[in-house]
Structure 1
Amino acid sequence: MNSTRVARAIVISSALMAAFGWATITTPMPVAASNNPLPAGLNFGLGNDPGDLLWMTSSGVPWKFRYTYLSAGVNTGNGWETWNTPAGQYASYYMTDSAVNGYLPVFSYYELLQSNPSSGSNESDRDFSNLNNTATMSAYYANFTLLMQEAHSFGGNVIVHVEPDLWGYLEQRAAGASPATLSASVASSGNADLQGLPNTAQGFAYALLRLRDRYASNVTMAIHDSLWATSRDLAIDTDPALDPNAVADQAGGFLNSLGISSNPYGSAWDLVFNDVADHDAAWYGDNSHWWDRTNSSLPNFARWLAYMARLHADTNRALVVWQVPVGNQYFLTMNNTNGHYQDNRAEYFMSHPSDLQAAGIQAVLFGKANGGQTNYTDDTGDGITNNNGVPTSGYQCNGCNSHASTVADDDGGFLRMAVANYYGPNPAPVPGPGGAYHPVVPQRILDTRTSLGGHPGRLGGGQSLDLMVAGQAGVQANAIAAVLNVTVTNTTSAGYLTLYPSGAARPTASNLNWVAGQTIPNLVEVKLGTSGGVTIFNSQGLADVVADVEGWVAAPSSPAGPDGLFKALQPARLLDTRDGTGGYQGPLGQGAALHMQVLGRGGVPGAGAEAVIVNVTVTNATATSFLTVWPTGGSLPTASNLNFTAGQTIPNRVIVRLGTGGQIDIYNHAGSVDVVVDVNGWFTDATAGQVGAGLVPLSPYRILDTRSGVGGFGSPVPGGSSIALPVAGKGGVPAMGSATPPRAVVLNVTVTDTTAPSFLTAWPDAITRPWTSDLNWVAGVTIPNFTVVEVGANGDVDFYNHLGSTDLVVDVVGYYN
């Protein structure tokens, strides 16, 4: 390592043994785009070995990444491949344990320096000697191939961060020249996969990418950028004339030549990692490694962010800030002793997330780099420490670390507190078991236009009404939740409704959104209060409210039977009158109804289903009208499922009992309209032996709002893009590794600030996006829809926006387990 930096220690699993302005210089050249496998927005992770997994899962923080080192040398007999049996099993365990708990696994592959013979007087020489040793490199490529094979068997996304430090040493050795001028054993290693590649440092980078391409296309490859690689170390340099743009151009140019901008032998690097420090700043005993958080002296955060923004532009790659020191100047426990050293990077990063994101940074991974440094666990084994109530002064800190800690974490609990606050407060998980769903023929229980339900006249702004649900319209007295189709009409201003259990505090959530004069419905699954009722709150203006019961959920203590259990499906299209899907070609006319076969289609079995969840969309409407959906064979009920105006495209979720022959009927009241139906789940009937998931209703909780950054995404979702939203472990939904992990979640999804006509699709993470829709809109509208979606194996749900951009708001109201 550069002589101004301290060498990184070998890391082996214990379980197995980061208000100046700088002139812009040359414009960066365009670089080919790569697949960006990271979730949108800025997210956080930890260096976390197997022995510390329990801390991570019990921290209450929805961490997104989990990293560990793969190290100890490829030919020493002590490397990562030996830490479990059979060879390579350590990586397999790590990937599986990470994914089960909703974390994206990251491996920092740090092998070259620690392999034999490692000859030389400094790290750079030792790395270069090994890089040119034929026997060493033969073992190296075999070891890397083993990792790729383990990753391929895992099958999910995994990030492999290759050789931190090495690329910096090579850049210094090249002294401004191309890595193609530096020798390396590649084809000469004898590895059959690498024949034809040049025996250069550039060829070495190409070799790693080729092995990824041949053995594990699911792997995301990350190259490393060191702040000292250009011989001007931005982490400690105090020269005001040092231009971060010029330094970034030099560093980015070298990285691009290693296979970012082009690779004649295969794919490109996907990510660029950057590290800000090897130790907590206070560990050095002076001010040389502190960054000025006021950005008035050097080194500081503003200069580093300028460098990162330029590096992002030069490489056209998402940036990951890795191994960020854990120390802080907040808690009393940070008294600058072993395990409790102060640093200010974590505090600055957590208080300036938008600045990081603007610089192209999409992930920050905290972790101690060497022994004695601050960690987020109780590494020192000294329990809760508050330094006898005495603050410890340090750089820009005159007794500022005055807060008492209540946890044994060596950082006082700062990371778990700050990152949890970034993602938003999270209620404790509500464990199952869940209750069975019982559909009913739709029946109206509230209509303020006619005083049905006991509330005469429109609901005023800021007012609420209490609606008794249990004991009405076929809902049993012991029901724990109900499914209602709720419609607002005769609205006088823009507003929203919130439905929640009677007697509970009103949550920050919404079920319907509208503008003045609009009539709009939405399906609502709502937990019932202790009295069996729900409260309906109107935000502003006047609105008539109509509610139709669609079904109810029994208490888990009710006599158990095989009926009413949920089976999630990948969304599938059952009907599209525009193209004849489902057997009906052409719009549904005025006063007309169609019979749609459901049983035996779209993943619904040919027998054993009692009800289905479908998303019904209308388009090409010629008049103001409504649709009603009900079981075939029954009478048309006095109820509605969608309300629309001429020219409007609008969806609504419907849970409907299957009627005669496994069919449902769809009725259009006026004009003509095209109808599209997608199915995404079904409920079991009383056939013996059936299994499925029960519903656990929750008080509504907001887990995503791209307008404010709740949920970790702070900007609209662009057209043609998707985001992966962690839902397991959030809003009362248990984590995937819990005793009652979720099978599916019940969400209210709202789009707003829409810039173009588009649609939204929700589906389980890590599978191919289905060609279905959950919301449809035109530019400028705000529209909600009730969604039940299967949870991915990692606890995430994906949302895709087709065109334009849109802000996305998601409230969780329940889950199936």
Structure 2
Amino acid sequence: MLSVLLSGCGGGGGGNQGSGLAGLFGLGNGSQGSNGTGQGGGGTGGTSGGTDGGTSPAAATIALVTKLGKPARVLFGLGLGEMDQMKSQNIHPDIIDTYLVGTGENTWPSWNSPDGAFITYTAQTNQAYGAISMFTLYQMQGDLSRINDAAFMSKYWGQTRLMYQLIAELRGPVLINLEPDFWGFLAAKRSDHDATQVPARVNNQPECAGLPDTAAGFGQCLVQMGRQIAPKALVGFPPSFWSGTAAEIGAQMRAVGADKADFIVAQTSDRDAGCWEVTPRPEECKDRTGTFYWDASNKTSPNFHDSQKQISDYRAALGNGLPILWWQTPMGVPSDTPGGTDLHYRDNHVDYMLRNAQEYGDIHTFAIVFSRGGSLQTSLATDGGQFARLSGQYLARGGAALK
């Protein structure tokens, strides 16, 4: 099962386009040259996740964490595949993230019996450990070719409905990350990023009657189905910036209903930076160019303030003042020596983000979720205790305030 859970997604911002299961969630250079964190604009609106008629962005962020029953600080999370190490190192994350992969035969509904019981068992395990469950719905796997195929979409919507039905039966709220990669491939489909011009099978679903049979309607249906079946579910969309600016992608994602979600999923990175630096590269780190190890002094690009500004600019373009969750943050250990070896590639996201978590709180982040992006990447078992030490120090400081 672990290999399935690590199969992950492609995408993220900038750089070369993601490559589905082989590529996973990258981040490119983003907005260049920023020396500040940037402040996203908080819109007003009446959606369940955004700011309601004058509610401040800070209030929206605090309200979401309150719904989760967690302390009013920036939360942290880990991937399900690290559970044994969480227990052995006495790490208690606020959130545990799990993939739901594929559509059709031998996909996530069949992982346990009866169909879909994987969701129930996983959520019960997470609840017993004191963590909120986050499910990453990855049924499309970034593939646009089947969105207008009647047989495929019938299975797709049936599985999505099953997910929501099972989540509705759970005790307490659940976070859902809706279809990473897909939105990046959708943006690349047309130079104008117009999701209303891409055909899809949507309005034959009872929960989505009246929505357009387009990719825009597809995204809106994901939200609308969830609202009707599992009203306690909190949903978020992960934008990809492979082929557009933050403003352009914000406009696309408004069309697909991302402004009606409960939060924004900021795709932090790809694999450990060092995996892209070695020669030869392992198979799971192919086909990217650029600089991968971010400048922690934030003087040269790419750096952490670049990525903060990119997602803040997107948040402003999306409008509605949604809180941010940073997702799939790699777990490598800082080093002045490029590269590394399998399971020990260098990276500095954990070190920077846990030491500087207030920067993320200041731009309306409510959570940062860390997890390895492939079987050869650094994990809790191979990071020399880095995550346990830094997360412990973070909690001892009282955490980062929500704004």
Instruction: Indicate which of 131, 134, 139 corresponds to 1:106.
Output: 134
Counterpart residue type for residue 179 of structure 1: A
Instruction: Indicate which of 65, 69, 72 corresponds to 2:99.
Output: 69
**Are 1:158 and 2:171 counterparts?**
no
Q: Which residue of 1 aligns with 2:268?
A: 276
Q: How does 1:120-159 map to 2 (within 5 A)?
A: 127-159=143-175
Describe the superposition over 1:96-145 as per-residue Cα deviations: whole angstroms up to 9, x where unpaired: 111121101001111113xxxxxxxxx5xxx2211111110110000001
Q: Which residue of 1 aligns with 2:401?
A: 714
Describe the superposition over 1:731-761 as per-residue Cα deviations: whole angstroms up to 9, x where unpaired: xxxxxxxxxxxxxxxxxxxxxxxxxxxxxxx
SS of match in other structure, 1:149? helix
Instruction: Indicate which of 36, 43, 46 corresponds to 1:30.
Output: 43
Q: Distance in 2 between matches of 1:420 and 1:311?
A: 31
Instruction: Indicate which of 332, 339, 348 corresponds to 1:327.
Output: 332
Q: How does 1:275-314 map to 2 (within 5 A)?
A: 275-285=267-277, 288-314=291-317
Instruction: Indicate which of 300, 314, 322 corresponds to 1:317.
Output: 322
Distance apart, 1:22 and its partner CA: 7.7
CA contact (8 A) 1:180 1:202 kept: yes
Distance apart, 1:6 and its partner CA: 5.1
Q: Which residue of 2 aligns with 1:218?
A: 232
Q: Which residue of 1 aligns with 2:389?
A: 417
CA contact (8 A) 1:186 1:207 kept: yes
Q: How many residues align?
A: 351
Residues 133, 158 of structure 1: alpha-carbon distance in 2 compared, 3 angstrom cutoff? same
Describe the superposition over 1:279-316 as per-residue Cα deviations: whole angstroms up to 9, x where unpaired: 11111126621211122211111221122223333331
Q: Distance in 2 between matches of 1:354 and 1:57?
A: 27
Q: Which residue of 2 aligns with 1:191?
A: 205
SS of match in other structure, 1:9? helix
Question: Is the radius of gyration larger for structure 1 or structure 2?
Answer: 1
Q: Which has the higher strand share?
A: 1
Residues 215, 319 of structure 1: alpha-carbon distance in 2 compared, 3 angstrom cutoff? same
**Are 1:57 and 2:87 counterparts?**
yes
Residues 41, 313 of structure 1: alpha-carbon distance in 2 compared, 3 angstrom cutoff? farther
Counterpart residue type for residue 174 of structure 2: V
Q: Which residue of 1 aligns with 2:248?
A: 250
Q: Distance in 1 between matches of 2:294 and 2:192?
A: 28
Distance apart, 1:28 and its partner CA: 5.5
CA contact (8 A) 1:350 1:422 kept: yes
CA contact (8 A) 2:344 2:382 kept: yes
SS of match in other structure, 1:272? strand
CA contact (8 A) 2:364 2:402 kept: no
Distance apart, 1:84 and its partner CA: 0.6
Residues 335, 203 of structure 1: alpha-carbon distance in 2 compared, 3 angstrom cutoff? closer
Counterpart residue type for residue 204 of structure 1: F
Q: Which has the higher contact order (CA 8 A, sep 6+)?
A: 2
Q: Distance in 2 between matches of 1:353 and 1:251?
A: 26
Counterpart residue type for residue 86 of structure 1: P
**Are 1:91 and 2:119 counterparts?**
yes
Q: Distance in 1 between matches of 2:402 and 2:366?
A: 13
Q: Distance in 2 between matches of 1:23 and 1:216?
A: 39
Q: How does 1:454-493 map to 2 (within 5 A)?
A: none
Describe the superposition over 1:261-288 as per-residue Cα deviations: whole angstroms up to 9, x where unpaired: 4xxxxxx211111112221111112662
Q: Which residue of 2 aligns with 1:9?
A: 21
Q: How does 1:364-383 map to 2 (within 5 A)?
A: 364-376=368-380
Counterpart residue type for residue 42 of structure 1: V
Percent identical among aligned pairs is: 25
CA contact (8 A) 1:31 1:260 kept: no
Distance apart, 1:369 and its partner CA: 1.3
Q: Distance in 2 between matches of 1:329 and 1:130?
A: 41
Counterpart residue type for residue 313 of structure 2: R
Describe the superposition over 1:24-62 as per-residue Cα deviations: whole angstroms up to 9, x where unpaired: 99x96834254353343211100113xx42322343333
Describe the superposition over 1:556-610 as per-residue Cα deviations: whole angstroms up to 9, x where unpaired: xxxxxxxxxxxxxxxxxxxxxxxxxxxxxxxxxxxxxxxxxxxxxxxxxxxxxxx
Residues 367, 74 of structure 1: alpha-carbon distance in 2 compared, 3 angstrom cutoff? same
TM-score by length of 2: 0.79
SS of match in other structure, 2:257? helix
Counterpart residue type for residue 92 of structure 2: P
TM-score by length of 1: 0.40
Counterpart residue type for residue 386 of structure 2: F
